Amino acid sequence: MIPRALTPRSQATRDRILEAARALFATHGYEGTTLRDVALQAGANVALIIRYYESKDGLFAQAASFDLRLPHLAELDPETLGEHLVSHFLSIWEDDATGRQLVALLKAAASHPAAKARMRDIFQSQLLTTVQAMGCAPAQAQTRAALIASQMLGLALVRYVLELPSEPLDRVTTVRVLGRTVQRYLAEPL
């Protein structure tokens, strides 16, 4: 099926639906958000959501789609790549909009296949591509990216989902200490 071009009015409705979905998924998670809730918040009807996004899974996939805006590591100081990457991830997680979306996605990924696939896609397509650009062999790049993802997602789980006390791990300390670990994953022999 070839999608029709959207009129400015229908594009505005589609955008409102997507923004409402992002806010609700971030607040209530995948399971706690209904299409009826999204429609109500967007000032639309459920039929339009189905028309534009096909299903709750389709809407979630679009709402959880974003660019990590990873830096080009080859352009940075090779001695501080890990710190740059950790600082970058913290900036994304601590941003009001993207952070809430990533927390919602991380929560949902533990129990929902579509969310798990979306999280895997984001980290594989974006993080793996960034690590591969450093010139690693493909198998090594996959291992390095998986190790970095385990560190960053583990930190996010502890800090932003479980909300375990992390006062001793202020931003500067986290960037410095975790940065050393990520630096090993990026640059040292595996």
The domain locations on the chain are 8-63, 73-187
Name the DSSP class of 133.
T
pLDDT in tens, 35-71: 999 999 999 999 999 999 999 988 988 888 778 889 9
Residue linked to tokens 């100081």: 77
Among residues 107, 119, 14, 134, the alpha carbon closest in space to that of 64 is found at: 119
What pLDDT, on the 0 to 100 scale, is given for residue 122? Answer: 85
Fold of the domain built from segment(s) 8-63: Arc Repressor Mutant, subunit A (1.10.10)
- 48 sits in which H/E element: helix 46-53
Among residues 24, 14, 37, 18, the alpha carbon closest in space to that of 108 is found at: 24
pLDDT in tens, 98-120: 787 788 888 888 878 878 888 88
Residue linked to tokens 């706690």: 32
Task: Give the global pTM.
Answer: 0.80
